[in-house]
Structure 1
Amino acid sequence: MSKKFWRITGLVIVALVLVGGATAYHERHNIRRYLLVNQHYTKKDILSTNQIKLNIRPALSTKNTTATNKLTSGYQKQLKALPTGVSHAKTIVNPYKTSPLSGLILVKTAKATRVELTVHGNTKATTIHQRIKGYRTNHSVGVLGLYANRNNRVTLKFTTKSGQVTKHNYRLQTTKAPKGIGKNTLKTSHPKKMALGKGNTKLTFAVSSQGYTYGMDARGKVRWYSNLPISHVFKQLANNHLLILTKISASDAKSNALRETDFYGRVYRQYNMNGLFPTKQNKHKLADNTVIHHDAIELPNHNFLLTVDDGSQDFVEDTMIEIDRQTGKIKKVIDLKRILPKSAYNNYNGTHRSDGKTDWFHQNSMVYDKKTNELIVSGRNQDMIFAINYKTKKLKWILAAPEKLPKSYRKYLLTPKNKNFRYNGGQHAVMFLDPNKNQGNKLKLQFYDNNVPVTRGKTKQSKQWSAGEIVTINQLNRTVKKTWEFGQSLGKRNFTNIVGSSYAVGKGNTLIGFGYADSGKRSEFVEVNRKTNKVVFDVDRTNFPHGDWSYRGQRMTLYPQSAQLKLSQIK
């Protein structure tokens, strides 16, 4: 037979495969759409676990990982090609394209040297120092903490094993910071009393609700920001990477990409979520939806536990999923409607959403206790913090006022030990004060009390202020004692109806984020000493776009590890 015959036959086969593949794809798409519209419930209002998994369907994405690995490979080649000598170094600003105040210095030395990095600041307390571990001849020095719109001076000190020292200054020119960050006005700063970390590497991070997340130094100047839109989740992981929630594509309306990255913007993993759920008005109409909404934590097995919308036609923000770190597949589903009373979601009318769905719980944070295998959960719209056994999902205790709670659940309530105990209302950011000091049945919790009763606990003090608080809980006796709070003295000016955080940051200090002050026109970050109740740092943030109030205030170090980027280790 002729070559022409085989060529035509081959083209026909390819065409048939393509047509068959396209047909199969459309069939799978139609089946999935049918299953999303015709949801499977095990009980009234409660979706089956398999339905929730189908609705969310996390998937690993390698697009951005591949792109940053390609950049890393390019920097490897540039370092290899450089002549030896500190004056022949190559400087790169924003090496991974999403962290404009970061840099990379590639340099070779004739002898193996240790490197010390100095990013010069406006003051002694804002000058950042970092020592890089190990001696080497090829150096890839990561630079963090640059100022925006400045030709930054960075000094590298090279020391040989014999003690010979060489210093060299480098310049890294940065661009203007985006207007969306807004205006940061420094009100108070006592650097010697602040928890700034060794080498002043710790910044105060304003974690965005739906815009720019950035870090400030002790003078309130921006020293790091991401040009990615970050929503709510900005966490440091056990491997010192960052976990952020961003958009799959810049044009997307929703944030449905959970990304493992770092302060330079290098991408290690990304999980894309499918947020196509039926609407309240018409279950046959599917609409884009935010899947992960407020929080994500790393479990001891290094999987991620996420607060999610489960795809229900009626309810939102009342479900958690554990996803496998390596594959992105859902390993566990926790539906809070299976744990809390039916009356809580069936009779809820505390808040209303424009899409008609019921946000009866509004989970905004969680923390896992590896000593007891317990998960502690905060729900704004029930004014409630509670603990469950993570394996069995059985309730252990509830911290909330008893109003509107069925008698069968009141046995779980914690009994206050303080006189005139004021219950939390609309609280956020529950966290252990010091997990290493928890003693089995006794634990100390810190959280931000908005002091806005949505469902229960209304008093004359409600909505008069918001506060950072610490309580001690005896799980065996089911008692609670409030041991510290700060915010009442700031009054209504710092009352925040929504968002907020309160975290211990070291030196006996707590950083409180009043994210929604002045009805969302202002965010304020206050570091206060818990022993004296004296404010040691205070910054007001204003002039930011509506909706981009700071969800949390966090103190984090720019250099959780060495400043060496280790270009040889592409992950």
Structure 2
Amino acid sequence: MKSNGILLALAMSSFMLTTPVVMLHEQSKTVLAQKKNGNAKKTKLSDSQIIKNLGVKKVANPSNDALTTKYANIVKGQQYTWENPYIKVNPYENSPLTALMIFHTDQPTKISYRVIGKTANTTIKNEVKGYQTNHQVPIVGLYAGYDNSVEVTMTDQFDNKQTKTVKIKTANLPKWIKSFPINVTVKDKTKMSLGSNELTVLNRTTKQTFAVDGDGEVRWYYLRWNEHIFEQLNNGHILLFNKIKSGDEKYNMLVETDYLGRVYRQFSFDKTLGGSYAGTAGLSLVHHDVAEMPNGNWLLTVDDGSKYVEDTIAELNPNTGKIVKVIDFKKIFPESMYKKSKIKANDNTSSGLGLMDWLHINTIDYDAKTGNILLSARNQDIIWSMNYQTKKINWIFTSKPAKEWPSSFHKYLLKPSKGTKYPGGQHGIYLLKETGSKLDILLYDNNIAVTNGDKKQSGKFSAATEYQIDTKKKTIKQVWSYGKNLGKQNFTEVIGYAQRLNNGNTLINFGFKNTGKESNIIEVDAYGNQVFNLTITNSPKDMTYVYRAYRMQFYPDNYVFDATK
């Protein structure tokens, strides 16, 4: 007993010595954060201060550029032929299920290829634009750990064709994919919207992104860690938000790349964003969404560096690397909305700055026809439209009663028809079509009453929902929905997405199913019949649940790879 008493005394003395050290460490992080960001206690900042806080810088990528130069020299050397082409698997060392083929022909010819699928409706077909003599063929959609058969066809200007099959062997899937089982229970590929080259992108909340075919087989993956952002641009490139190294503290690099992994442009942000996230890890500074504008600029959902997070959007000119405009929604909505909110930011406990997340913008969609933007904010259970240039609100849809809005906002509030459900904690709003004064929009309704949602139905189901809005009459009606019949088992408190596909089907990502242990991606036809059902096991600890699932072309028709440019 005496020895136990000594051990207890030692343990107590150790606790008394170490506990203040831990407390001092946390306090020092808070002091450091405050020193880094004197704005973190402020409510509203000037536009110039927000731009300064973002700290955007264009970043070179010499190793990537060196590979591009290498391939450009091979093209210019004209040493490889149709009979003996140059083929490099994983040409940029971060996209292992792709390859680059280079060869020269004396006469201009056009090249197409087919990566032969293992089963029906899994072959990936692509064509390189135009007739050329120096050929650079980006091959995507290879199987992992497999000796792929790629059928290449060369067509001259007189429509004479030559076809041959090349074998391309790839490495096995990495452990981080194999350790999360993919289970496909429904796959009616004849009714799925697959086109000639479409895959389902599983864009996870953290870590690596990958894509699967109609069988659930992985046909593309990207080695850089990515968070939230995966946007296909008009030039066929993709926009991601990366950690350059997996051990980096934050996701901090906005990257324009392609499916081969070639980096065209990348931009870093202030690692503390004015200090708001000092002492935290794994957070994305461009936090939820991006949208490409007709002028080629990118709209980003960002933090402004003040006391309030995720309530600001910024426009980045990728040609100059400059932020050219910001909109802080504390300056748009009534002051009471953020002052009365008690929702703390996710980083609150570790930064010690007491940051608040009153709005939580999770979607931005730009309408090129009107110049309007659609936005969704989870923590107010609200969707709205406003003109981007004038900042004039067009309409608002929320269950927050009119009496709780200033009278000047009453004219914006949409009146729902009978049977139309208010969304709660929703994600992924975007415009489907526009006919006169009527808009059709699609969103993923998490159906959780965060602040203003439907408390009676909250938590019972989640659903993809289509609404039609009459902007003149200021009315809204629900015209289609899927998910209620699945009940609570497919309820997702956070994240999710819905995409209307080319054949009229809808792809729905129940990303946080079973409290994040699973993500369930379902494709249904217009009548709610399932034609595809995939479930992937996640690691809630590492937040590897699927943030959004997209059906995308690998690659679109307007994409051109050219190492010489």
What TM bracket, shorter-length normalisation?
A: 0.7 to 0.9
Note if contact 1:86-1:168 (Cα within 8 Å) is conserved in structure 2.
no
Where does residue 291 of structure 1 map in the other structure? 285
Structure 2, unpaired ranges of 5+: 1-32, 349-353
Task: Give, in angstroms, the shift of residue 278 of structure 1.
Answer: 5.9
Where does residue 333 of structure 1 map in the other structure? 326
Measure, in 1, the Cα distance between the counterparts of 2:112 and 2:244.
37
1:302 to 288, 296, 303: 296
Q: Per the alignment, in what secondary structure is the counterpart of residue 65 of structure 2?
A: helix
Note if contact 1:277-1:286 (Cα within 8 Å) is conserved in structure 2.
no
2:495 to 493, 499, 505: 499
Measure, in 2, the Cα distance between the counterparts of 1:298 and 1:205.
19
Where does residue 312 of structure 2 map in the other structure? 319
Where does residue 166 of structure 1 map in the other structure? 162
Where does residue 185 of structure 2 map in the other structure? 187
Where does residue 22 of structure 2 map in the other structure? none
1:420 is aligned with what amino acid?
A: G
For residues 392-449 of structure 1, what are the alpha-carbon distances to aligned partners after superposition, in whole Å with 9 as ceiling and x for unaligned? Answer: 22322110002483343344210012x2332100000011113xxx135321110000
Note if contact 2:224-2:244 (Cα within 8 Å) is conserved in structure 1.
no
Task: Give, in angstroms, the shift of residue 303 of structure 1.
Answer: 0.9
For residues 51-90 of structure 1, what are the alpha-carbon distances to aligned partners after superposition, in whole Å with 9 as ceiling and x for unaligned? Answer: 11111121111x22x4333212212323444646433122
Task: Give, in angstroms, the shift of residue 178 of structure 1.
Answer: 2.6
Q: Per the alignment, in what secondary structure is the counterpart of residue 74 of structure 2?
A: helix
Measure, in 2, the Cα distance between the counterparts of 1:280 and 1:507.
44
Task: Give, in angstroms, the shift of residue 242 of structure 1.
Answer: 0.8
Q: Per the alignment, in what secondary structure is the counterpart of residue 55 of structure 1?
A: helix
Q: Give the direction of change, closer, same or farther, for the CA distance of 1:402–1:225 in structure 2 (3 Å limit).
A: same
- The correspondence of residues 397-546 of structure 1 with structure 2, limited to 5 A, is 397-403=395-401, 405-408=404-407, 409-417=409-417, 419-434=418-433, 438-530=434-526, 532-544=527-539, 546=541
- The correspondence of residues 196-207 of structure 1 with structure 2, limited to 5 A, is 196-197=194-195, 199=196, 201-207=197-203
Task: Give, in angstroms, the shift of residue 214 of structure 1.
Answer: 1.0
Measure, in 2, the Cα distance between the counterparts of 1:369 and 1:274.
29
What is the aligned-residue identity percentage? 38
1:114 is aligned with what amino acid?
A: K
1:349 aligns with 2:339: no
Note if contact 2:88-2:99 (Cα within 8 Å) is conserved in structure 1.
yes
Measure, in 2, the Cα distance between the counterparts of 1:443 and 1:564.
34
Task: Give, in angstroms, the shift of residue 542 of structure 1.
Answer: 0.8
TM-score if structure 1 supplies the norm length? 0.86
Measure, in 1, the Cα distance between the counterparts of 2:187 and 2:540.
26
Q: Give the direction of change, closer, same or farther, for the CA distance of 1:113–1:406 in structure 2 (3 Å limit).
A: closer
1:331 is aligned with what amino acid?
A: V
1:152 aligns with 2:152: no
Note if contact 1:277-1:287 (Cα within 8 Å) is conserved in structure 2.
no
Note if contact 1:473-1:481 (Cα within 8 Å) is conserved in structure 2.
yes
Q: Give the direction of change, closer, same or farther, for the CA distance of 1:334–1:36 in structure 2 (3 Å limit).
A: farther
Deviation larger for 422-431 or 399-408: 399-408
1:552 aligns with 2:545: no
Number of corresponding residues: 522
Structure 1, unpaired ranges of 5+: 1-32
Task: Give, in angstroms, the shift of residue 463 of structure 1.
Answer: 0.8
Q: Per the alignment, in what secondary structure is the counterpart of residue 501 of structure 2?
A: strand
Note if contact 1:211-1:548 (Cα within 8 Å) is conserved in structure 2.
yes
Where does residue 10 of structure 2 map in the other structure? none
1:306 is aligned with what amino acid?
A: L
Q: Per the alignment, in what secondary structure is the counterpart of residue 519 of structure 1?
A: coil
For residues 512-563 of structure 1, what are the alpha-carbon distances to aligned partners after superposition, in whole Å with 9 as ceiling and x for unaligned? Answer: 1111000000011111112x21111111111446301111011110021368
Q: Give the direction of change, closer, same or farther, for the CA distance of 1:133–1:39 in structure 2 (3 Å limit).
A: closer
Task: Give, in angstroms, the shift of residue 286 of structure 1.
Answer: 8.2
Q: Give the direction of change, closer, same or farther, for the CA distance of 1:120–1:456 in structure 2 (3 Å limit).
A: same
Deviation larger for 396-405 or 478-487: 396-405
Task: Give, in angstroms, the shift of residue 385 of structure 1.
Answer: 0.2
Measure, in 1, the Cα distance between the counterparts of 2:77 and 2:70.
11
1:70 to 66, 72, 76: 66
Q: Per the alignment, in what secondary structure is the counterpart of residue 508 of structure 1?
A: coil
2:94 to 83, 94, 98: 98
TM-score if structure 2 supplies the norm length? 0.87
Measure, in 1, the Cα distance between the counterparts of 2:373 and 2:560.
36
Measure, in 1, the Cα distance between the counterparts of 2:262 and 2:275.
36
Q: Give the direction of change, closer, same or farther, for the CA distance of 1:270–1:99 in structure 2 (3 Å limit).
A: same
Measure, in 1, the Cα distance between the counterparts of 2:485 and 2:333.
35
Measure, in 1, the Cα distance between the counterparts of 2:462 and 2:144.
33
Q: Give the direction of change, closer, same or farther, for the CA distance of 1:56–1:195 in structure 2 (3 Å limit).
A: same
